[in-house]
Structure 1
C-alpha cells in the first residue's frame, strides 16, 4: 500500500557548490570556499588543554607534511592503504588524519578504551597497515597488532610522553625526520567527481544489527557536511549575520575524535569556521568546568549525559561559565526538562540539538540558528541539500506531525558498509527504480512545518549508551560463549545519566540450573560472573549496567527471531518495581 510521497526538505536556501575533486586536507588546509569566513584573528587552531600550548595553522600544515613524508619513506603508505588511529583526543590527531590522506590512504579511528579483541576485529576488518596509538594503550595495541600481523615498527606512540623510552617510535620523532627530508611523495590529486567515491574514513557503527561495521565515508561527504553546517549557520557574513559562528571564538573539543560527531562536526567544521579547539583527551566534569573557565569557552558540543551533569551537579556553581554562549547536544535525544534545567544553570547560553549518524556523515539537522532556546524536544532543523521521507507502519508516507521511520538522502551519505554487502543492502536503499541512494535510519521520527525533526523512538535494535551505539546481538553472541548461558537476549533500559544501559535476560544452562537448585547463593555468583564476562572483554559502555535477570525462556517468533519488544516491556516493569522497592525502603 502506498500513497503520494511527502518529502521533507530545508525550508529555505540552496546548498552552495561542493567541490568533488579535492581531499579533506586539500579542502581544509589548501583551498577556499565561499561559505568559509575570513579569520582576521591570530588565534591558534588547536590548544592543548593541559599545557595551554597553541598550534597554529601553518604548524598544522607543516606537521601534516612531515608525517606524510616519513610514512611514505619508511612504510610506503599509499593508495587506499589503511592506517588506524587508536588514541584519545590529541592536538596531533588532525595532522595524523590528514597526513594519511595526503598519501591517498584511508584512516580508521578506534575507541582507545577497546579491548585487544575489539581492536583486533577492527584492524582485521579494515586490513590496517600501521597504527598510531596512545602511550596508555600500548599493551592493547601490541597484542592486537601481534595477532593482526602488523609489525612492531609500525606501532607509533602518538602522544610522546615526557621521558618515554619504550621500543616504539614516536609521532614527534617521525614528524621531525620527515621535515628534514625533501618531499618523498607526490600528493594524490583527484579527478572530477572522484571525491564522491574516494574513501577517506572507515568509521565504525553498529548499523542496525550484529557486530560493528566499517562505514566507508568518502571525502566528498565530509566536505559537503562542513559546507552544509557553515551555510546553515551563516558562518560567512555573505550568507548571514555571522553572530553564532564568529572566527576567533573557542570551542571545547571534548567529544572523542574517533567518533563521527567529534571527527566531522567538532574537528573539521569548527576548524573550517576559524574557532580555536581546546583539546581534552578524556571527559571528566571537573576538568571540563576548569577548561571552560580557564580558556573562556564559547561553544560546547556535548551529549545528554554531560548535560545531565551540567544541570544537576553541585560543583557546577563553583566555576565561572558565563563565557558559554551556545551548547549543541547530539548523539541521543535531550529531554525538554533537561533543556530547561540547563538554561537555569547557564542562562547566557543558547541551546539546541542536532541529529545525524555515521552512515550520513554526519549532521542531518542542526540547532535552529534564529532561536536562543531551540524548540523543546526538537532534534534541530534540516540542513540544506537533505531530503527525508517518513514511512508509516501501514506502508504509507507520513506528512507533517505524523510518526514513522526516517529515510534520508543527501550529499553526505556514506558509500557502504566496507566488505559487507548484505548489511549494505539492508541500510543503503533505492526507491522507485531511481538511482538516488537513501539511508534507512531505523529511527521513528516526525517533522513539523518548519522541517524540525522530533526523534520519538528507535525502531532498530541498537541501544544508545552515553551517545555510543551498542548492538544487542554483539553482547548476546558474547554471552552465549559462557558455559552457564543457555540462551540470551539483551535490551536497553532507560537510565537518567546514560540514556539507556544494557540489561541481559538469560536462560541458564542445564548445569547452571542444577547448581542453583543445590545452592541458593549460586544464582548471585553466576550473575556476577556473567557481568564480569562482558566487562572483561568489552569496552566500558557495553557493560551490563542494567543487570542480569534469569528467565525460563526467550520469546521468539516462529522463524526464531527474538521478540525483543516483549522483554523491553518486561525490563521497564522491573525498573519500576525496583524504584518502588527502593522508595519503600527509604
Structure 2
C-alpha cells in the first residue's frame, strides 16, 4: 500500500480510538484519573528493546517511491527545500562523519548551540542514530551559562552555528560548525553531508532504555536542571504525536515552525514528530511576527503550533495585520498557560481558526493533555484538554498529599512512558520530583472538571501568599491582558511586613497610552476578591520571557528588589 493510500486508512481507524464516556476518568478507589482516549491498533508503542529514536523516525518516512518528491522542510527565508529522501541521506552522512571522522561514540554527549535551521533535525537524528546523547542549548544564553551546561552535561563535542562560535571557543571542547566559515574553522555539518556519504553507516547497539538527550529546564523559578530523556521516552512521544496529527490534520497540511528546536516543544514536534507523518514544515530561524504572517500567506500554512505570547501578539495587533491568513485552520498553544480571556478574544478576532491548548513539561517530553476537537475546546474555555493516551494523573492536596476528586484544586501528578528518567547528577531534585512508583510531581496547581478536562491555575512555587490566602499570578495577568491599553503584563510577589506578600504588576502599556498605576489597581480591584487586589504597579518596556513564552518572574522579582534598595 502506498504512503498516500495509507493515510485515509489511518484516519478511518482513528474513529474507534475515543471511548465514549461522560465521566471524568476518575477512579474513586485509587484516586487516579485515567485517559478517556486510547490508541488504535495503528499507534501502539513498539515493545522491541533494540530500537532507538532515529531508527523509529526513519522507519516512518514515506515509501522510497514517494520520498524523493515529498518535501519535508522548507526554509522560510531562502525557500530552500529538502525532501524526505534527501533528509534521510543527510542524516546517514552526518552520523557516519561523526562516528568515523570525529570519533563520537555511544554515550558521548554532543552539545548543540544553534538557532532553527534545516540542519538542526539532521544533527539531532544523526546523534541519536550512533547512540550519542544530545544536549541542546538556547543561543541567547550568555557565555557563562553555556559554559556551565557544557561542563554539567560532560559534552565531548560541540556543534555550533558560526555566529555562536565565540561563546564556546574557550571551553576546551572540540567544535564542529553547522555551516562553512571562511576562517580556519573549515569543518562543518554541511561538509559532512557532502563528504561522508561514502563512509559505512555505523552499526551501534542502542536500546530503548539508553539515554537519548539531556535537555535543560528553563529555570523560571530556580536553577536550571538537566532532564534525562531516554529513547523509549522519545519513541513514546513520537507515537502520541503521530496519533494527534492523524486525529486532527490532513496529510497535505503545511505546518509552520518558529518554536526553537532546543526546547522540548520544538524538538519533539518539529525535529522528530512531524517526520513520522510525512508532513511538510516551513522552518523559521527565529520568531518575527511579520515574517510569520508573510510565511503563512506565501506557503498557505494550515497549522501553527504556537505559544501564548504569539497568540497575544496576533490579538493585540490584529487590526494592523497586512497578510492573508485565510489558509490558517488551526493554532495550537503550549509551553505556558493560555487564559480563558485571551482564548475568547482570539476566537472573536479569528473565528475561522481553531484554537486548542495543550499541556506538558520537559520532564514528560512535552505532553500530557490535548483537545481532539475544536468543539471540545470551545465548550471548555481555559482548559488545556484531556489526558492523552498512556497518561494517568493525580491531583494531590498540597497540605496532605491525598488524592482529590474532580473540581478540587491540588498539585498535578502525571505518569506515562514519556516521563523522564531523572535529573542529571541531582539526586535530591530527582527524589523531590519523581515518586518511587513513577509519578511525576509537576509543581503545577490545577484540577480536573467532571468531564475530565484539566485546568492549570499556576505554578505552586509562584503562588503569592497574602495574609494567609493564596493568589495565583496567572489569574491577575489574564485580567490585566483584557484591558485594551495593556499589551502585556506579569504579576509577582512583593515582600510586605504586614501581609507577608502583596501582588505587584509589571505592565507594558500600548503606544500612546497614559494609563496610570491607580487606574490599573482599580481596574483589577473591581473584578477580584479584596485579598487578590494588585497593590503596586510598575511600567516596563517588555516582559522578560523564556524562549517557550514562560514569564521569567525571578528576573522581575530581582528587578523589584533592586528598585526597593535604590529607594532606601
Q: TM-score scaled by structure 1?
A: 0.73
**2:405 matched residue in structure 1:** 399
State which of 27, 36, 45 in structure 2 corresponds to 1:18: 45
User: CA 1:149/1:415 → structure 2, altered by over 3 Å: closer, same or farther?
Assistant: same
State which of 390, 407, 424 in structure 2 corresponds to 1:418: 424
Q: Could you tell me whether the CA contact under 8 Å between 1:199 and 1:219 is conserved in 2?
A: yes
3-state SS in 1 of match to 2:151: helix
3-state SS in 1 of match to 2:121: helix
State which of 283, 286, 293 in structure 1 corresponds to 2:287: 283
**2:442 matched residue in structure 1:** 441
3-state SS in 1 of match to 2:375: coil
3-state SS in 2 of match to 1:282: coil
User: CA 1:70/1:24 → structure 2, altered by over 3 Å: closer, same or farther?
Assistant: same
Q: Could you tell me whether the CA contact under 8 Å between 2:99 and 2:202 is conserved in 1?
A: no
Q: Could you tell me whether the CA contact under 8 Å between 1:229 and 1:269 is conserved in 2?
A: yes
Write the deviation string for residues 147-171 of structure 1: whole angstroms up to 9, x where unpaired. Answer: x321xxx32221447xx44534222
**2:205 matched residue in structure 1:** 189
Q: Establish whether residue 78 from structure 1 lines up as the match of residue 105 from structure 2.
A: yes
Q: Distance in 2 between matches of 1:106 and 1:309?
A: 36
Q: Could you tell me whether the CA contact under 8 Å between 1:39 and 1:247 is conserved in 2?
A: no
Q: Could you tell me whether the CA contact under 8 Å between 2:60 and 2:275 is conserved in 1?
A: no
State which of 204, 213, 222 in structure 1 corresponds to 2:225: 213
Gaps of 5+ in 2: 1-27, 465-472, 482-486, 498-539
Write the deviation string for residues 434-474 of structure 1: whole angstroms up to 9, x where unpaired. Answer: xx3010001111112332110012113599xxxxxxxxxxx
Write the deviation string for residues 271-296 of structure 1: whole angstroms up to 9, x where unpaired. Answer: 22222111111111111111111111
Q: Distance in 2 between matches of 1:426 and 1:372?
A: 34
Q: Could you tell me whether the CA contact under 8 Å between 2:68 and 2:85 is conserved in 1?
A: no
Q: Could you tell me whether the CA contact under 8 Å between 2:377 and 2:383 is conserved in 1?
A: no
User: CA 1:398/1:207 → structure 2, altered by over 3 Å: closer, same or farther?
Assistant: farther
Q: Distance in 1 between matches of 2:490 and 2:82?
A: 38
User: CA 1:50/1:382 → structure 2, altered by over 3 Å: closer, same or farther?
Assistant: same
User: CA 1:501/1:254 → structure 2, altered by over 3 Å: closer, same or farther?
Assistant: farther
Q: Distance in 2 between matches of 1:377 and 1:552?
A: 35
How far the C-alpha of 1:388 sits from its partner, in A, is 0.2
Q: Distance in 1 between matches of 2:328 and 2:342?
A: 17
Q: Distance in 1 between matches of 2:555 and 2:462?
A: 16
Q: Distance in 1 between matches of 2:493 and 2:163?
A: 30
Q: Distance in 2 between matches of 1:311 and 1:552?
A: 34
Q: Distance in 2 between matches of 1:361 and 1:94?
A: 16
Q: Distance in 2 between matches of 1:268 and 1:128?
A: 22
Q: TM-score scaled by structure 2?
A: 0.75
State which of 242, 250, 253 in structure 2 corresponds to 1:249: 253
**2:451 matched residue in structure 1:** 450
How far the C-alpha of 1:335 sits from its partner, in A, is 1.2
Q: Could you tell me whether the CA contact under 8 Å between 2:61 and 2:277 is conserved in 1?
A: no
State which of 433, 454, 459 in structure 2 corresponds to 1:427: 433
Q: Distance in 1 between matches of 2:73 and 2:61?
A: 20
Q: Establish whether residue 378 from structure 1 lines up as the match of residue 383 from structure 2.
A: yes
Q: Could you tell me whether the CA contact under 8 Å between 2:229 and 2:421 is conserved in 1?
A: yes
State which of 49, 57, 79 in structure 2 corresponds to 1:28: 57
State which of 386, 390, 403 in structure 1 corresponds to 2:395: 390
Q: Establish whether residue 9 from structure 1 lines up as the match of residue 34 from structure 2.
A: yes
How far the C-alpha of 1:11 sits from its partner, in A, is 1.3
3-state SS in 1 of match to 2:305: strand
Q: Distance in 1 between matches of 2:555 and 2:399?
A: 35
Q: Establish whether residue 176 from structure 1 lines up as the match of residue 181 from structure 2.
A: no
Q: Could you tell me whether the CA contact under 8 Å between 2:307 and 2:548 is conserved in 1?
A: no
My pick for the range that moved more, 393-402 or 322-331, is: 393-402
State which of 149, 152, 155 in structure 1 corresponds to 2:172: 149
User: CA 1:247/1:552 → structure 2, altered by over 3 Å: closer, same or farther?
Assistant: closer
3-state SS in 1 of match to 2:96: helix
The alignment yields a C-alpha RMSD, in angstroms, of 3.3
Write the deviation string for residues 389-429 of structure 1: whole angstroms up to 9, x where unpaired. Answer: 00123423211111111111111011010111111101011
State which of 92, 110, 122 in structure 1 corresponds to 2:149: 122
**2:325 matched residue in structure 1:** 321
Q: Distance in 1 between matches of 2:451 and 2:106?
A: 44
Q: Could you tell me whether the CA contact under 8 Å between 1:11 and 1:450 is conserved in 2?
A: no
3-state SS in 2 of match to 1:287: helix
Within 5 Å, give how 1:571-582 maps onto structure 2.
none
How far the C-alpha of 1:39 sits from its partner, in A, is 7.9
Write the deviation string for residues 151-208 of structure 1: whole angstroms up to 9, x where unpaired. Answer: xxx32221447xx4453422211221212x331x532233xxx30x211110111579
3-state SS in 1 of match to 2:122: helix
Q: Distance in 1 between matches of 2:180 and 2:298?
A: 25
How far the C-alpha of 1:379 sits from its partner, in A, is 0.9
Q: Distance in 2 between matches of 1:462 and 1:74?
A: 52
3-state SS in 1 of match to 2:461: coil
- Equivalenced residue count is 465
